Every structure is written in C-alpha cells, then in structure tokens.
Structure 1
Amino acid sequence: MPTEAQIAGGHKAAINNPNVPEETKENSKRILEEQFNGGDVPKSGDNENKNPNNVAGGLKATLNNPNVSEEAKKSAKERLDNM
C-alpha cells in the first residue's frame, strides 16, 4: 500500500507533467490541498532501508539523463557528493 508521501508525490508529478491534461492537473492540485496539506507531507521513512549503492546508481543515472532538468541534475550531484 502506498504511503502518503508516495500518493502526494504522484499528484505532484502529474501537475508537472506536460503530457497530463489540464483537468487532471487541477484535480491533483485540489486533492493535494484538501487531503495532503498542499502536498506538505512527511517523507517516507524507508530511506534507512535503501541500498546506498542503488541510491548512488540512481543519482548517477539522473546526471546522465538528457530528459532531466538542470535543477534536478544539480540536486542529484549535491546528494551524490554528500554520500
């Protein structure tokens, strides 16, 4: 069963996806406001169970993905440098 953070994250992703219809984006915004305090939910507590090598691999993949924004790449690089 997905956590609140995962559900809110899905709605946030829908809002920022250019391929999602405007009506769906508005619905996601409404749900975030009404059910998830505007999307401000605690992050999932699963981080301590994640394999650091897998996390590092995902961050490296982000850095090399041409479809990822420069802002996301910068964040991934900072997280990788702090590991």
Structure 2
Amino acid sequence: MPGPTYVTVRDEDKHEHENNHGHKGQTHQHGYGEHENRQLGGYKSTLHNPNTSPEAKDHAAEVLAEHGIKTDYQSKEAQLHEHHVIGGYKSALHNPKVSEEAKEHAKEVLKEHGFN
C-alpha cells in the first residue's frame, strides 16, 4: 500500500484556504502545514475512491483547485456534456447539410479525443 500523498501548497493559497475554510495546518520547515498536506492528499484520494459520492468528489476537486492543484477529475455533469459534444461532432460527419470545412474540423476534434 503506498504511503501518504504530499502536495506543495503555496503560502498565498494556504492563507486563502485558511480564510475560506476557517482552519489552519501545522507549520513545518517549508512553511507548509503537514496537516494541510495530509488533508489535500485526502482530497486527492477522494477523487479516486469508488465509494465516494459525486457531491464529495466535486467538493474535493473544488478544494484542490483552490490550491492550484490540477486533477483529471470531471464531474458527471462535465462528462455528460463532453459525451454530447463528441456525439455532435460524430453526427456532423454524416450530415449532408454540414460543410466540408466543418466536417474536417469535426474529424480533427474527434482525432484529438482518440476517435478515428
């Protein structure tokens, strides 16, 4: 089992998080709280836990984003939106009313997303 996940938190983000959420991490030599690093690691774990609710995952992603931590997490709503957009590009390829230029654009976008 891997050890805890540590993340680097900038001082500005740390203070903003403290102001927004009303709690402080314990400070150690680099100015980052070990407690806060563990909390942020917990939020990262939340995103990958299949037993976690979508609402909890959305909150975890929001907190991580507040700290400038990028994740590959997408909410169910964002996934559904992307699914619909990709479907629209696929449909454009078979629509006789769509210009060849638009079809070429659709092919490029689909290729970028792993569709042939």
Superposition TM-score tier, normalisation by shorter sequence: 0.3 to 0.5
Bigger proportion of residues as helix: 1
Structure with higher RCO (Cα < 8 A, 6+ apart): 1
TM-score by length of structure 2 reads: 0.30
Rg bigger for which structure? 2
